[in-house]
Amino acid sequence: MLIGLDKNIFIQKMSLLANSCALFVCFALFSE
């Protein structure tokens, strides 16, 4: 149960990090 919970939190953090990176890349591209 704890392992599943940790996996869910890990997936949420990775998706949040991916979204942040995507936003940063889009901002960098459009700001130029």
How many DSSP H helices and E strands does the chain contain? 1, 0
**What is the DSSP secondary-structure string of 1-32?**
-HHHHHHHHHHHHHHHHHHHHHHHHHHHHHH-
What pLDDT is stored for residue 1 in this prediction? 56
CA atoms within 13 A on the CB side of 15: 6
Global pTM?
Answer: 0.61
Residues 1-32 have pLDDT tens digits of 567 778 899 999 999 999 999 999 999 998 87
